[in-house]
Every structure is written in structure tokens, then in C-alpha cells.
């Protein structure tokens, strides 16, 4: 990985934050990343579902859970977007779609960086 990749990745994931949980052990990092991706994929699907059903409580719960997981993994931008979405749990479907698209865009960058790291 060159220096430019490190700078770009730092904007997506703070790898030092992730290493706090793994002591830099690559096997533990890989396992933690795999668990995060599986959990986040499920959360993303749930959030999308609750746009149309207008289940505001589930929207709030799921965005809150993803916010915390992302923060723990060092994905600050994703966590911040989820925080915004969590606070907007009473908004209309159009607003939630916009927020969901922001979550999805940020998550895709995080997931891609994580998969690149463990490949």
C-alpha cells in the first residue's frame, strides 16, 4: 500500500482505532472485519426496508446500532451519517431515502477498504 492509499483509507477507516481491539493481530482483524461486514449488511437491508414501512422505531434502533459498530471499527464518516439518520427517525420516506443513500455510499467505501485489507 502506498502513502496515498494510507491517506485515502484514513478518511474512510481509522485503522489505528481498529487495531485497539486486535493488538494488530491480522487474524483477529480479519475475523472482526468479517463479523462487522455481515452485521452491517444485515443492518443496511433492515434500514432500507424501514424506509417504505415507515417503522420509525426500527429505523432508529438499526441506525443507532450501525452507528456504534461503525464507530468501534474506526469508520467515523459512516458513524456520523448513521447518527444523522438516527436523529431523523421521524422524517418522511423521501428524506430517509436520501439518508439511506448516504449511508450506503459510505458503507460501500468502508466495506471495500476492509475487504482490500483482508484479501
What is the CATH number for 73?
A: 1.20.120
Closest of 84, 13, 97, 88 to residue 49, by C-alpha: 97
Domain extent at residue 87? 24-118
Cα–Cα distance, 80 to 89 (Å, whole number): 15
Cell numbers given for 18: 481498529
Answer whether residue 109 is part of any domain.
yes
Q: How many domains does the chain have?
A: 1
- Does residue 4 form part of some domain? no
pTM for the full model? 0.89
d(CA 86, CA 58): 10
User: What's residue 7's pLDDT?
Assistant: 42
Residue 82 located in a structural domain:
yes
Position 98 scores a pLDDT of 97
pLDDT digits (tens, 9 = 90+) for 59-111: 999 999 999 999 999 999 999 999 999 999 999 999 999 999 999 999 999 99
Amino acid at each position: 500500500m502506498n502513502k496515498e492509499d494510507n491517506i485515502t483509507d484514513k478518511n474512510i477507516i481509522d485503522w489505528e482505532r481498529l487495531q485497539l481491539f486486535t493488538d494488530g493481530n491480522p487474524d483477529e482483524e480479519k475475523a472482526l472485519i468479517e463479523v462487522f461486514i455481515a452485521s452491517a449488511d444485515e443492518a443496511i437491508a433492515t434500514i432500507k426496508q424501514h424506509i417504505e414501512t415507515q417503522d420509525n422505531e426500527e429505523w432508529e434502533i438499526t441506525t443507532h446500532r450501525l452507528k456504534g459498530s461503525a464507530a468501534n471499527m474506526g469508520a467515523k464518516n459512516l458513524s456520523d451519517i448513521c447518527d444523522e439518520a438516527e436523529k431523523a427517525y421521524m422524517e418522511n420516506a423521501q428524506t430517509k431515502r436520501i439518508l439511506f443513500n448516504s449511508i450506503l455510499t459510505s458503507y460501500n467505501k468502508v466495506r471495500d477498504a476492509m475487504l482490500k485489507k483482508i484479501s
